[in-house]
Structure 1
Amino acid sequence: MQTIYQASNSVEAHMLKNMLEQEDIAAFIEGEYLQGGVGELPSHNLVRLVVAEADAERAKEIIDNWNEIQDTNQPTTENKPQRRLPTFILVFFGMVIGVMISLAFFRTHYDYAGNDHDHDGQLDEKWTYSPTGVPLLYEGDRNLDKKIDVITDYNRHGLPEVSEFDDNFDGIFETTASFDKGYMSVSKTDTDGDDFPDFITNYKFGVMTSIEYINVYSGYPKKICSFDLGKLKMCEIDSNLDRAMDKQIHYDADGEVKIK
């Protein structure tokens, strides 16, 4: 990567970045968030616009042309008294610019190239990022059938919040998973297509701990099986469907039923 421009502020940097992207040049902003809390750093030349080495010459030419246009359009100030805006107006515009930058930080979506695993010219994985590089959305085609079968939404910190899965690849997302602090905590699956989750998997720090088979009529588990390191340890069963587990089955290290 090569620095092609030292922006005076973040607003100018984003404007020039968008201008370059309209010319199919991928540009990135560095040092944007060092402003305002720079400490011992100098408060100028912090915000830089960088591009790939191969695009540097053309990007510089585009920005130079833009600067020439701006210089041409500048009105002459010779022999004219300088008028200063009232302080409250400057403060107001500063607040507006701050809000605009915040909205861009949290809401603006930029698509970045993903992965084409089978080299057919179509992305099998696609990531969507915020302008600051925080992931917002993931879409994946795991079986390479040209259909998306997993979608993950991320929060403003870049941690996954919700995922949807089409695990039998029939075009229907039958499983929804929730996350806690970035780790999968529970997934709910509608195995029979009646829009009611009848199979629930529980996780702790992303590790499966138990599964629940749900009675679709009562909404309560009719069977709960516990796991340890992926191995089935015990199942509790509500044999008469009275919402109380009345039977237990224990399993050995080989997954065989323990005989008492």
Structure 2
Amino acid sequence: MLIVYHAAHSADAQLVRGLLGQEGIQSFVFGGALEGGAGLLPVGGSVRVEVADQDAARAREIIEEWQASAVPLSDDEDEPADQDFGDDDTPEHVEDGNAYRPLNQRKLRHTGTGMGGIVFALLIGALLGAAATGIAMQPGAREESADYNGDGVADERLFFEGERLVRVQSDRNTDGDADLVTQYDARGLATGAEQDQDFNGSYETVETYRDGVWTGQSADYDGDGAPERQQIALRGVLTSEEWLDAQGRVIKRNLYTGGRLTGGEIDSDGDGALDTSRLYDSRGEIQSSRPLQAQ
């Protein structure tokens, strides 16, 4: 999202939002709620209009054209052209006896309403602005893509609900199909992922996370719905790995220390029961093995 307009107040921002909407550009107003707590303090610049990155250039063009358009400073046709607008209020030009200035430079005329009426108007404007901003910030699904290698194929597709990232689809082998899908929670932390590690179009590997930290992985290589391999991690570091047969029995177990393979057990005769213990050296080679005592 990019900022395309800094508004004087919420009403100003909503006017721009409506203008962009007429041109088919979705926009969002942020900062309007600040008016409610600002009292009579100026909040100019705090209220802003943002659009998606790809719409920013066109949105700015539309806003610039709107700002360049001239309208009378007053609806009173009898207002003299030489009206005093203050030291910094010189009108843009005079035409047919009327003073003109771009829309976003217009100021309130003195009407004799009094301070009470002004305060009341400001409060009403703040409430309306906050309500309009709340409506504008309601979640809306959108998608962005990134082509990191410039080959014309999206390497990642990012999916948002409002301003929240909910999912990222990655194409690691650049064949046009996603092979890694990662889900995110409201905090922006990963909650889970699916991987197609052999790039055959099927997600055989599922990863789990807690508070954004990897906790484990399971893999179903034959697609029967039952995993053949399971990994468990502590604080993001692999601690154990189990291989299972078609009946769900553990036929191999590896144990890790500091992410390094140090020991394990295996079903050496294929009867579905672990019968041999192994120790591994620093390179992961079998250092020694011995039969397990019968249970």
Match of 1:48 in 2: 48
Give SS of 2:218's match.
Answer: strand
Q: Structure 2 residue aligned with 1:148, among 167, 178, 185?
A: 178
In the TM superposition, residue 211 of structure 1 has moved relative to its aligned partner by 1.5
Gap regions ≥5 residues in structure 1: 72-92
Give SS of 2:287's match.
Answer: coil
Matches within 5 A, 1:239-254: 240-242=271-273, 245-254=274-283
How far, CA to CA, are the matches of 1:257 and 1:41 in structure 2?
76
Change (3 A) 1:99 1:193: same
Match of 1:168 in 2: 198
In the TM superposition, residue 115 of structure 1 has moved relative to its aligned partner by 2.0
In the TM superposition, residue 16 of structure 1 has moved relative to its aligned partner by 5.2
Given that 1:2 and 1:53 are in contact with CA atoms closer than 8 Å, whether structure 2 keeps it comes out as: no
In the TM superposition, residue 159 of structure 1 has moved relative to its aligned partner by 1.5
- 197-206 vs 220-229, which deviates more? 220-229
Q: Structure 1 residue aligned with 2:211, among 171, 181, 184?
A: 181
In the TM superposition, residue 163 of structure 1 has moved relative to its aligned partner by 1.0
How high is the TM-score relative to the length of structure 2?
0.61
1:259 aligns with 2:288: yes
In the TM superposition, residue 185 of structure 1 has moved relative to its aligned partner by 1.1
Match of 2:79 in 1: none
Given that 1:251 and 1:257 are in contact with CA atoms closer than 8 Å, whether structure 2 keeps it comes out as: yes
How far, CA to CA, are the matches of 1:215 and 1:12 in structure 2?
67
How far, CA to CA, are the matches of 2:15 and 2:276 in structure 1?
67
Q: Structure 2 residue aligned with 1:117, among 148, 157, 177?
A: 148
Match of 1:158 in 2: 188
Q: Structure 2 residue aligned with 1:237, among 261, 266, 279?
A: 266
Give SS of 1:123's match.
Answer: coil
How high is the TM-score relative to the length of structure 1?
0.68
Matches within 5 A, 1:124-143: 124-132=155-163, 134-143=164-173
In the TM superposition, residue 182 of structure 1 has moved relative to its aligned partner by 0.8
Given that 1:4 and 1:50 are in contact with CA atoms closer than 8 Å, whether structure 2 keeps it comes out as: yes
How far, CA to CA, are the matches of 1:41 and 1:199 in structure 2?
64
Change (3 A) 1:98 1:119: closer
Give SS of 2:227's match.
Answer: coil
Aligned-pair Cα RMSD in Å: 4.0
Gap regions ≥5 residues in structure 2: 76-127, 290-295
How many residues are paired up?
A: 226
Q: Structure 1 residue aligned with 2:225, among 172, 184, 195?
A: 195
How far, CA to CA, are the matches of 2:172 and 2:236 in structure 1?
20
Change (3 A) 1:110 1:127: same
How far, CA to CA, are the matches of 1:187 and 1:15 in structure 2?
51
How far, CA to CA, are the matches of 1:7 and 1:25 in structure 2?
21
Given that 2:153 and 2:174 are in contact with CA atoms closer than 8 Å, whether structure 1 keeps it comes out as: no
* Greater Rg over alpha carbons, structure: 2
Match of 2:65 in 1: 61
How far, CA to CA, are the matches of 1:214 and 1:36 in structure 2?
61
How far, CA to CA, are the matches of 1:108 and 1:140 in structure 2?
22
Q: Which has the higher contact order (CA 8 A, sep 6+)?
A: 2
Give SS of 2:286's match.
Answer: coil
Identity %: 28
Match of 1:228 in 2: 257
How far, CA to CA, are the matches of 2:187 and 2:40 in structure 1?
26
How far, CA to CA, are the matches of 1:119 and 1:60 in structure 2?
32
Match of 2:7 in 1: 6
